[in-house]
Amino acid sequence: MKLFLISSVSLSAVLVILTLNNTSVHTEELSGSHSHTLANYEMVMDTVPEFPYQKTEAEWKEILTSSQYRILRKKGTEFPYVNEYFDSKKDGIYVCAGCGQKLYDSKHKYKSGTGWPSFWKPIDDSLVVELEDKSLFMTRTEIVCSNCGGHLGHVFDDGPQPTNLRYCMNSAAMKLVDRDKLPEVAQN
């Protein structure tokens, strides 16, 4: 497999991955890591935005738990119904586990029946970024932290009024903090 950086612009870089017949690739899924073979694909393109708070992979591994790293940095997903916040009714603010940026208010959380913490809106739209996710042979809308780019989960259009949105998040990607004890947002 060859990686080519085709172009770089101020807010994004286009990464092109050329694959040959029977090239193996590594992916993360619910139950862990798996290898797959791409036999018929000639080119895969992915747009990778740049985020204000940057760390090396080694630095992320130092500051995050293994579960947080797998979800935030490797776009993993935790199992439903056995994660910390899926049924939490505690009041507070959900912040990014990677950088401390506030993301969701517990007042916007609702029981979606999916087994993951679900919200009908973020505190502010500028705190999260929507990215197209074409993994697992489908198209979804991925949600990442706008400060560190950490993978939080996905948004779907089957939520309650007034937005009709369901922000389905991974518990390990967030920390629930008291409203009066918000951490400082990490900056470079």
Q: Could you tell me if residue 188 is inside a domain? A: no
Q: List pLDDT tens digits, range 78-126.
A: 999 999 999 999 999 999 999 999 999 999 999 999 999 999 999 999 9
Q: What is the pLDDT of residue 186?
A: 86
- Given a contact cutoff of 8 angstroms between Cβ atoms, the answer to whether 166 and 118 are in contact is yes
Residue 62 tokens, joined = 């130092």
Task: Provide the domain limits for residue 140.
Answer: 54-181
Does some domain include residue 187?
no
Domain assignment of residue 167, yes or no: yes
Same domain, 25 and 60: no
Query: In the prediction, which pLDDT does 136 show?
Result: 87
What's the rounded Cα separation, in Å, for the pair 144 and 73?
10
Q: Which pair of structure tokens corresponds to residue 58?
A: 């080694």
Residue 47 has a pLDDT of 53
Which residues have CB under 8 Å from 151's CB, separation 6+?
71, 72, 73, 74, 75, 76, 142, 143, 144, 170, 173
**Mean pLDDT in the chain?**
81
Residues 62 and 45 in one domain: no
Overall average pLDDT of the 142-164 stretch = 98
Let me know if residue 114 belongs to a domain. yes
Same structural domain, 66 and 150: yes
Active site residues: 168
**pLDDT at residue 172 above 90?**
yes
Report the pLDDT value the prediction gives residue 184, as an integer from 0 to 100. Answer: 86
The DSSP bridge partners found for residue 128 are 145
| pLDDT at residue 111, rounded to an integer | 97
Q: Provide the total of helices (H) and of strands (E) in the chain, helices listed first.
A: 2, 14
Same domain, 132 and 162: yes
**pLDDT value of residue 151:** 98
Query: Any idea which residue has 């940057």 for tokens?
Result: 54
**24: pLDDT strictly greater than 60:** no
Same domain, 117 and 92: yes
How many domains in the chain? 2
Q: Which of 144, 124, 122 is closest to 133 using CA atoms?
A: 144
Q: Residues 60-80: pLDDT tens digits?
A: 999 999 999 999 999 999 999
Asked whether 53 and 186 are in contact (CB, 8 A), the reply is yes
Report how far residue 61's alpha carbon sits from residue 65's, in angstroms, rounded to the nearest whole number: 7
153 and 84 both lie in a single domain: yes
* 11 and 76 within one domain: no
pLDDT at 182: 86
Share of the chain above pLDDT 90, in %: 68
Specify if 91 maps to a domain. yes
pTM: 0.74
Q: With DSSP H G I counted as helix, E B as strand and the rest as coil, what are the percentages for the chain, rounded to 5? A: 15, 40, 45
66 and 35: one domain? no
Assess if residue 12 is contained within a domain: yes
List the CATH number of the domain containing 92: 2.170.150.20
